[in-house]
Amino acid sequence: MKESAKLFTPAKIGSMTVKNRVVMAPMATDFADGDGSVSDKLRAYYEARARGGVGLITLEVCSIDSLFPYVPRTLGLWDDSLVPGLKTLTDAVHGNGAKIIPQLAHPGPESLSTIFSGTETVGPSAGIRNGITRMKCRELTIDEIKEILQKFGDAALRARQAGFDGVEFHAAHAYMLAGSFLSALKNRRSDEYGGTVEGRLRFCREAIESIKRAAGNDFPVIMRISADELVPGGRTVRETQYILPRLVASGVDAFHVSAGVYPDTSWRVIPPAGTPLGINTSLSRMIKEATDVPVMVVGRITSPGLAEDILQREEADLVVLGRALLADPEFVNKAREGRDDDIAPCIGCGLGCVTNRELGGDMTCLVNPAVGREEERPEPAAKKKRIMVVGAGPAGLEFSRAAARRGHEVTLYEKDDRPGGQLNLAAVVRSKREILGLIRHQVRQAEKAGVGPLTGVEVTAAMIQEQKPDAVVIATGARTCTPGICGFENCGILCSREVLAGGVDIDSGKVLIIGGGMVGCEVAEFLASPGDSVSETRTEVAIIEMNEGIGLDMFSEARYFMINSLREKGVRLYTGSTVTELFDDGAAIERGGKKIELRGFDYLVNATGAQPANELASSLESYSGEVYTIGDAREPRQALHAIAEAWDLGNKI
């Protein structure tokens, strides 16, 4: 992309000048220290994005009251003692040419205060449930509202003292305190802070005024807002257009446009793979028509070309990138240098940035395992080794790239006719076609490091013994497991991988899928036609799953779409069911204490999980060189873990 592109021109937000029009979205990391202060890990994470060329960084939520933390290791702006640590962060970011603002918020109903301090959560109205604890909040009194408004001002002053260039005020998604006050979905008050549009707007206006009063009128305030809440009874874009001038009059210098509410339409808050790129741009254009202050838009902006197109079409003044900057902190620098093909693609999987955090792990990224480990700088190998890598799936490709860049001589073999491994099967599913971009990126980066996959070559133990490499890395993946179910060996059941690979021709009839995890759901969606096409014969599909829900190993927002798709296609679900026997045309199950026979199926498909395909590793137990097994060949897991494991070994071997 040419440096003259609009994407790389300066932008003005109030008194702040940003060097380009790329803004980093606020994303919770849990990288701060437990007392609300800045950790070395967090500082390195943000410094890497500043070094990568982004114009403005929006810090994750900074809680304004220590009694009401947003996440377990929330960043804090509730006390003067936190200012010096925050100053080290702003200095690091400024030293790399970027501007930085914190996102100020009181979590309100979303606070984890009940868990950490025993303090009851609060909100505009009683009864709003916390999405994690499921506990209901109590209604704030007028006096308590006034105290919170003062805390917004106090926090903004500390932000200025810490060297921040402004603040973002979070009032989107009918979420946290300000968003809950602004939305009729959660604000049921009849006093001056509710009842009418102006009443619901009052908390936000007074919070912004408190910020300006404390930090100064020249201290920019950006407001994150849902242009349209997209649910019945919620705020429409027309109503949002109506309130914009009132917010600007209170001191808003720019709007950060999102859409939807949490959790009802959380797929618009964090759009998963399969949703439209630039998903909020039609709304940001309408917001831009109703205000003279700059408008920023977020939502599935995954490439420099798309970002430039949004600006050229005047759908927004700045573009906000979140997960794209996790996948590649150097996104902006590479775009400016015309190296678009070297940008690591965000595939919208949500597994590292969202799901891993929800499960209690650290925030990371499937595409970029270095997220949260920016302090670790791989060093050149102390001793150059000849390494043979067997398997050019996601783990084999990632290891080869990392090891070769450190100076090792790496040869990569793949028995199939193309690299990518199981990612090729995953990309068969319509909503996951962006995975093809990841395969292309991994192959390109391995080749640039000097490793071209040798396809169509099956490696044997004899071949390894003959070549005598210093190290062998087994990345041969996994195969569909063989469950110990009575009748399995004789029922003619098909393998889910063969179905997705097109090795089995299923045009119509009735299909019973054993296993309702992500793979089973994807096979079901792949096979089930809508049944309303005159040119197609309907394929009827049913899923048996032992858990009480299907797709439980999926990113929650992607699971929402999957379940809706299966319902639309008429897929029958037998959850909470254990298969006790398989027949040629069906299965016997136990469900709710009852035994049921499901018969009359034309095809049975096994999607019960995977087992390592690591026979080669077993045959090398006496090999004199180093032998490592990574990815699914070591233990079947998601690509998130396979790539991270490969990255780790490649940077240490």
Instruction: Report how far Cα 290 is from the mean position of its chain's Cα atoms.
Output: 31
Distance CA 108, CA 126 (A): 11
CB 124 within 8 A of CB 193: yes
Q: Tell me what pLDDT residue 359 has.
A: 84
If you average pLDDT over every residue of the chain, what do you get?
94
Q: Tell me the pLDDT band of 358, cut-offs 50, 70 and 90.
A: confident
Per-residue pLDDT tens for 110-140? 998 888 778 899 999 999 988 777 889 999 9
Query: 285: which residues sit within 8 A by CB, 6+ positions away?
Result: 313, 314, 315, 316
3-state helix/strand/coil string of 305-336: HHHHHHHHCCCCCEEEECHHHHHCCCHHHHHH
* Backbone torsions φ then ψ of 169, nearest 5 degrees: -105, 115
pLDDT average, residue stretch 195-210: 97
CB 511 within 8 A of CB 504: no
Per-residue pLDDT tens for 203-250? 999 999 999 999 999 999 999 999 999 999 999 999 999 999 999 999
Q: Is 347 exposed, middle or buried (0-12, 13-18, 19+ CB in 10 A)?
A: buried
Torsion of CA 346, 352, 358, 363, to 10 degrees: -110
Distance CA 563, CA 287 (A): 32
- Inform me whether the pLDDT recorded for 167 exceeds 90: yes
Q: Which of 309-318, 498-507, 576-585, 607-616 has the lowest average pLDDT?
A: 498-507
Q: Tell me what pLDDT residue 536 has.
A: 59
Q: Tell me what pLDDT residue 539 has.
A: 86
Q: Tell me what pLDDT residue 155 has.
A: 98
> Higher confidence at residue 2 or residue 173?
173
Q: C-alpha angle 166/331/553, rounded to 5°? A: 95
Collapsing DSSP to helix, strand or coil, 85 comes out as helix
- Inform me whether the pLDDT recorded for 538 exceeds 90: no
Q: String of b and e for 309-342 (b: at least 16 CB within 10 Å)? A: bbbeeebbbbbbbbbbbbbbbbbbebbbeeeeee
Per-residue pLDDT tens for 636-646? 999 999 999 99
Torsion of CA 76, 45, 16, 163, to 10 degrees: 50
Distance CA 116, CA 36 (A): 13
How many of the other CB atoms lie within 10 Å of CB of 217?
Answer: 12
Catalytic residues: 175
Q: Could you give the percent of the chain with pLDDT greater than 70?
A: 98
Q: Which of 71-75, 517-521, 534-538 has the lowest average pLDDT?
A: 534-538
Q: Tell me what pLDDT residue 3 has.
A: 67
Q: Tell me what pLDDT residue 532 has.
A: 53
Collapsing DSSP to helix, strand or coil, 283 comes out as helix
What is the model's pTM?
0.94
Query: 147: which residues sit within 8 A by CB, 6+ positions away?
Result: none
Report which DSSP code applies to 633.
G
- Inform me whether the pLDDT recorded for 535 exceeds 60: no
Distance CA 139, CA 489 (A): 61
Q: Enumerate the β-bridge partners of residue 167.
A: 221
pLDDT average, residue stretch 603-629: 93
Collapsing DSSP to helix, strand or coil, 93 comes out as helix
DSSP code string of 466-534: HH--SEEEE---EEE-----BTGGGTTPEEHHHHHTT-S---SEEEEEE--SHHHHHHHHHH---S--T
Per-residue pLDDT tens for 447-458? 999 998 999 999
- Inform me whether the pLDDT recorded for 537 exceeds 70: no
pLDDT average, residue stretch 28-49: 95
Distance CA 465, CA 544 (A): 45
Q: Could you give the percent of the chain with pLDDT greater than 90?
A: 86
pLDDT average, residue stretch 189-199: 96
Distance CA 551, CA 79 (A): 43
CB 85 within 8 A of CB 43: no
Q: C-alpha angle 384/387/388, rounded to 5°? A: 165
Residue with tokens 């990569």: 412
pLDDT average, residue stretch 239-265: 96
- Inform me whether the pLDDT recorded for 410 exceeds 90: yes
Q: Tell me what pLDDT residue 114 has.
A: 84
Q: Tell me the pLDDT band of 57, cut-offs 50, 70 and 90.
A: very high
Q: Tell me what pLDDT residue 627 has.
A: 97
- Inform me whether the pLDDT recorded for 178 exceeds 70: yes
Q: Tell me what pLDDT residue 466 has.
A: 95
Q: Tell me what pLDDT residue 119 has.
A: 87
Per-residue pLDDT tens for 493-507? 999 998 988 888 787
Per-residue pLDDT tens for 292-331? 999 999 999 999 999 999 999 999 999 999 999 999 999 9
pLDDT average, residue stretch 483-497: 92
Q: Tell me what pLDDT residue 651 has.
A: 97
